[in-house]
A and B are shown apart, each in its own frame.
Chain A
Amino acid sequence: MSTTASTSQAPTASQLAWRRRRASAAKTWADFRAQPGGMVGLIVLIVIILIAAFAPLLAPASMLDVTHVLNQPRFAQPSFAHLLGTDAQGRELWARMVWGARSSLIVGFAATAMSMIIGTVIGMAAGHFTGFVGGLLMRIVDFFLVLPSLILAIVLSSVLSRGLLTIVIAIGVTSWAGTARVVRAQTLTIESRGYIERARALGAGHWHIIGRHIFPAVMPLVLANTTLTVGSAIISESTLAFLGLGDPSSQSWGTILKNAMDVSAATSGYWWFILAPGLAILFVVLAFTLVGRAVETITNPTLRSR
């Protein structure tokens, strides 16, 4: 063939695609950097992720063992010797906080992943399949949307055995409906476009249309939603832990607050016991919210002018 020589010089389709992806990633990053709120959030998140990752180095696990702190003062106020004060057993609060960052982040990310997967799959299916299946799926989505998710999460985590996985399931199973609704709306808009009709005319099946056309098109939306959902998943985790449904074998900011309530810290004046874990939750969730809003602004051009 006479054209082979010239086409071998030109980039192949996949090279082109990667070049375009790199360019769009660079542009997204530049857009993100332009938003101060998002950058602050990102830096806070990186610091907290590092703290969680190096928890065993920062605070050896023995510091959490109540049998190792027998001669430590209980309810010590924050000082140089006890940076954030001590708890009812004389354990250093900062050590518990450092380890608590782990469960918050693990549960936050895992529950969000679960919620996003369920929400995306059901949302795409509800938008793609019309008629009975779509209607039924939408009914289920609406049902989960109005259901008091915390109450359902409480029910789930009280019947399942206690543990991190249970909390992840309880939050993941109860928080996907919002995502499903947004994904469905997006799927409906995409389905009405010409290229889907063309693909269908060429004989594309359900799998092909959903996998190759709809999924890539709803992904940016899902990702923007993800960051916001991690924040609320972390709040849910701390709430469940606060209600005593947490994993007994691991530290959690919510558990610290539960311990604080159990010793009535609020009326006994153990202010550090309440302040530190709450501020930690606040900062992490705020950071995720800021990053999420920045991502949302990038993926949704109509928000940009605000």
Chain B
Amino acid sequence: MISPVGSVLQDEAEDFDEPGAGASWLKYAGKKAGGALISLVMVIILGFFAFKILPGDPVATMAREHQMSAAQMAQLRAQYGLDKPLIVQFWNYLVNVFTGQFGESYVYHQSVSSLIGQYFWPTILLTGTSAVIAIALGLWLGQKAAWRHGSLFDKITSGTSLVFWSVPTFWLGLLLLLIFGGTLQWFPTGGMVSPGGDSTWFGTVMDVVSHLVLPVTTMVAVVYAQYVMVMRASLLEEMNADYLTTARAKGLREDLVRRKHAVPNALLPTVTLVFMHIGGLISGAVTVETVFSWPGLGKLTYEALSGPDLPLLQGTFVVFSAIIIIMNLIADLIYRQLDPRVRRA
């Protein structure tokens, strides 16, 4: 889900932890890692209680989808340990999480962790590729638009970003699938590899790439727009700064003023926000993978939903959250590395 970038950005820039003058790298990293660890523990606790405290009964929900007798329901409850007291269930859950098990899937009859392991890398491939392209494209367009703000280029860039910002990811996916998959048949319509395809190394890579094009385009289109707006807004914040006047007064070329002075400063808040929006990227993966039948965690989540396969849903929730928390930790550390005020200290 998108947050209103303009306003968050300003807040973020002011609110971000000011690096203390004497604080050492280790102390800072330790503090951030501690925060991430607390978040991780909270996710694990939430991952249990969100499924328990709410007035829903998983077995009753399953019975709604499939016909079941009362005896069968009782047996299912016993099988998944749902008849035990809450505290015992919680203990079992904790043991499961820390041994990396997450219990057994209701639908696949496999351990959730092995399922997640199987579906993990395709998601990383898809979101990683999309993130790299979207960040590069977004930052480049954003800084160009801000530097020439008010120009036709700026208007077109901002306009397109606004439109893509307002598009639901899955719809763009369906649209691309309709045009390039269904009608033009340029690209495969789903999956990651063609069945019985080329078995050579090069052939496999090309096959995967051709399967990647449409889902990656979808994710990039929706995500880059946010980066354009963030980068544009934060460079505009810097536009009237005194140090740019100084740089120009020194006789620096306009191009150098932008690349060496303005952009590095504008990058600071942007990097933080880019990483904070990794959550949005992951959310996008759920629907994009569903639309393109990409064999990743998002598709797994969708299948867990239609079960409903609660242990699997629990597992994907914890894994997704963990990925995002780690990404944010990395963002905090990179921020520290990028900030010239800190580097010099």
Listed in ascending order, the chain A residues whose CB lies under 8 Å from chain B are 139, 142-143, 145-156, 158-161, 171, 174-175, 178, 181-182, 184-185, 221, 224-225, 228-229, 231-233, 235-236, 238-239, 242-245, 254, 257, 260-261, 265-269, 271, 274-275, 277-278, 281-282, 285-286, 289-290, 292-293, 296, 300, 303, 306
CA distance A292 to B283 in the complex (A): 23
Contact B162 A289 (CB under 8 A): yes
Partner of A151, one of B149, B163, B170, B320: B320
CA distance A275 to B183 in the complex (A): 14
CA distance A145 to B325 in the complex (A): 10
Q: Using known A-B contacts A150-B286, A155-B50, determine if residue A267 contacts B182 with beta carbons closer than 8 Å.
A: yes
Partner of B162, one of A232, A242, A286: A286
Q: A178-B8, A275-B175 are in contact. List 7 more A-B contacts (CB 8 A).
A: A149-B1, A152-B317, A160-B54, A261-B290, A267-B177, A289-B165, A306-B149
CA distance A51 to B66 in the complex (A): 38
B270 within 8 A of A: no
B11 within 8 A of A: yes
Contact B54 A159 (CB under 8 A): yes
Partner of B313, one of A155, A290, A296, A306: A155
CB<8 Å pairs between A and B, sample of 20: A143-B42, A146-B279, A151-B301, A151-B317, A158-B61, A159-B58, A160-B55, A221-B7, A228-B4, A231-B2, A232-B1, A235-B1, A239-B287, A257-B171, A266-B178, A267-B178, A267-B181, A285-B166, A296-B7, A303-B6
Q: How many A-B residue pairs have CB under 8 A?
A: 189
Q: Using known A-B contacts A156-B50, A174-B1, A242-B287, determine if residue A147 contacts B305 with beta carbons closer than 8 Å.
A: no
Residues of B within 8 A of A243 (CB): 286-287, 290, 302, 305
Task: Tell me, rounded to whole Å, the shortest Cβ–Cβ distance linking A267 to chain B.
Answer: 4
**What mask results when residues 189 to 205 of chain B are scored 1 for a CB within 8 Å of chain A, else 0?**
10000000000000000
Task: Tell me, rounded to whole Å, the shortest Cβ–Cβ distance linking A137 to chain B.
Answer: 14
Closest to B318 in A: A151
Residues of A within 8 A of B6 (CB): 293, 296, 303
Task: Tell me, rounded to whole Å, the shortest Cβ–Cβ distance linking A175 to chain B.
Answer: 5
B255 within 8 A of A: no
CA distance A298 to B338 in the complex (A): 34
Residues of A within 8 A of B236 (CB): 306
* B140-191, CB < 8 A from A: 149, 162-163, 165-172, 174-175, 177-178, 181-183, 189
Residues of B within 8 A of A224 (CB): 7
Partner of A231, one of B15, B166, B325: B166
CA distance A145 to B8 in the complex (A): 11
Residues of B within 8 A of A228 (CB): 4, 7
Contact A278 B175 (CB under 8 A): yes
Closest to A254 in B: B168
Partner of B4, one of A161, A184, A229, A257: A229
Contact A282 B163 (CB under 8 A): yes
Residues of A within 8 A of B175 (CB): 274-275, 278
Contact A151 B282 (CB under 8 A): yes
Residues of B within 8 A of A145 (CB): 276
Q: Using known A-B contacts A225-B4, A292-B4, determine if residue A147 contacts B43 with beta carbons closer than 8 Å.
A: yes
